[in-house]
Structure 1
């Protein structure tokens, strides 16, 4: 199972970075949306 996970990570290395950037941007938008009512 560990070998399968390593192979998957090696094959999806380019999209893994894009997915991480997408997840980080979603978290930033969530935090901004939760703080928005306090600013208005």
Structure 2
């Protein structure tokens, strides 16, 4: 299982940073969406 995980990470190394930025953007959107009603 560990070798499969490492192989997957090796294959997706080129887009891994894009996926991390996308995940961070989703978390920011979720955080903003949950706190937006508190402003009104």
Count residues with an aligned counterpart. 40
Unaligned runs of 5+ in 1: none
Quote the Cα distance in structure 2 between the aligned partners of 1:3 and 1:20. Answer: 22
Q: TM-score, normalised by structure 1?
A: 0.85
Aligned CA-pair RMSD: 0.8
User: After the TM superposition, which residues 13-28 of structure 1 pair with which residues of structure 2 at under 5 Å, given as runs?
Assistant: 13-28=13-28
